[in-house]
Amino acid sequence: MISFYRGFSLVELMIVITIVAILSLIAYPSYQQYLLTTHRVEAKKMLLDVANRQESYFMDFSQYASSATALSVNALSESGFYQLSVSAAGNTFTLSATAVGNQASDLDCTRLSINETGVKSASGAASSRCWD
Q: How many domains does the chain have?
A: 1
- Is the residue at 3 inside a domain? no
- Is the residue at 5 inside a domain? no
At 3-54, the pLDDT tens digits run 677 777 889 999 999 999 999 999 999 999 999 999 999 999 999 999 999 9
First to last CA, the chain: 71
pTM of the model: 0.81
- Is the residue at 4 inside a domain? no
- Is the residue at 49 inside a domain? yes
Q: What is the CA radius of gyration of the chain?
A: 24
User: Strand locations in the chain, DSSP E?
Assistant: 82-89, 92-99, 111-115, 120-123
- Is the residue at 26 inside a domain? yes
In angstroms, rounded to a whole number, what is the distance separating the alpha carbons of residues 108 and 95? 19
In angstroms, rounded to a whole number, what is the distance separating the alpha carbons of residues 26 and 30? 7
- Is the residue at 60 inside a domain? yes
Which range of residues forms the domain containing residue 60?
Answer: 10-129
- Is the residue at 2 inside a domain? no
